[in-house]
Amino acid sequence: MLPAWSIVFGVAFGAAVGSFLNVLIYRLPRNLSIAFPPSHCPACRHRLGVRDLVPLLSYLVQAGKCRYCRASIPIRYFLVELWNAAVWAWLWHQWLIMGESPLRFVCYALAASVLIAIFFIDLQHYIIPDELNVALLILGLLHAGLLKGAPTDWEWASLGVLNLRNAALGALLGAGLFSLIAILGRIGFRKDAMGHGDIKLVRGMGALLLAPGMLVAFAVSIATGAILGGLWTLLRSRHAARLSSTEPTDEEPIPPEPLGSLLLSCALYTLWVDALITLLPRRVQQRVYAALGQPEEEPLDDSFEETPTMLPFGPFLAVGALLVMLFGGAFAGWVRAYIEWAGL
């Protein structure tokens, strides 16, 4: 058990990892290398020095502007570092100061960082990079394998006991549940009901949080999505109405994915075939997906414009998973109390 003052290391490490997350958030959706070129200003392309890359402090000292061209730096860069630093500090206190589980801290901290990156990428681009979903799945399996038999908030349920079998079942249940939602929604409403990235994300959540935690995270996501999502849609719809009055467009809605393609994709996700493909070199991935008849997603650029009423569900799933990871004891207590009250 570490002393209380050591939490400053949790803040520092979390902020430093948050700085790297900003690189992932910008480059992964664009299929850019995360190592080359080195960090630079997107506006003037000037390479950033050590003074420009101090997590949190550089943004504050430079008043959110590039030191070379004075272009504004998006507030997102600061928020990512701050959010990741806060989460790492909480987990440091929970597992290294109050508890003695370095392995759980490492697994949870890295998984939390992956979820934060997913939150911002999906919120802006409406996609979740496969690399992040596979990383979350691997972290969940490593967590279960390395900490087999360790206590969890959900061990009162048979599927809440920490082991590799339950992690795999949690992943299977997550992918299967969301695949079913996607297929039934496509048949019933004749339009896409669930993003492919969301199915893969819930699969990783199931491996990390186990089936009970994943289902609670899903419920939390629905609750937060219903409230915040409703407000978001209302605001964006009003914005779209103002634009349409001045800039009418004749754009046709995007047709839904063919049902056969969706069924094949869901089968690949449920059997983890896509995760194995993601570990292959990119050229090999392209050939495999071409052989399967699955189109490859084009890299995004800054000209991407979202549909005003579109609402990605991935950010809410990420928030739900983070809340269950950080406050699992409280959620588990509420669920167990309800089950006992209901006599289930």
In angstroms, the Cα distances linking 292 to 263, 267, 298, 325 are 12, 12, 17, 36
- Both 36 and 162 in a single domain? no
Which residues of the chain register pLDDT less than 50?
303-309
Helix then strand then coil, % of the chain, to nearest 5: 70, 0, 30
For residue 344, what pLDDT is reported? 75
For residue 38, what pLDDT is reported? 84
Phi, psi of 333 (to 5 degrees): -65, -45
- Both 120 and 229 in a single domain? yes
| Domain endpoint, select from 76, 99, 122 | 99
- Both 52 and 106 in a single domain? no
In angstroms, the Cα distances linking 214 to 171, 303, 311, 327 are 9, 35, 21, 13
For residue 275, what pLDDT is reported? 93
- Per-residue pLDDT of 259-296, as tens digits, reads 998 999 999 999 999 999 998 888 888 888 888 776 65
- Both 59 and 180 in a single domain? no
Give how many domains the chain has, as a whole number: 2
For residue 236, what pLDDT is reported? 66
Token code pair at residue 97: 């100061």
| Domain endpoint, select from 58, 78, 99 | 99
For residue 308, what pLDDT is reported? 45
Model confidence, pTM: 0.91
- Both 63 and 193 in a single domain? no
Domain that holds residue 333: 101-342
- Both 136 and 253 in a single domain? yes
- Both 220 and 169 in a single domain? yes
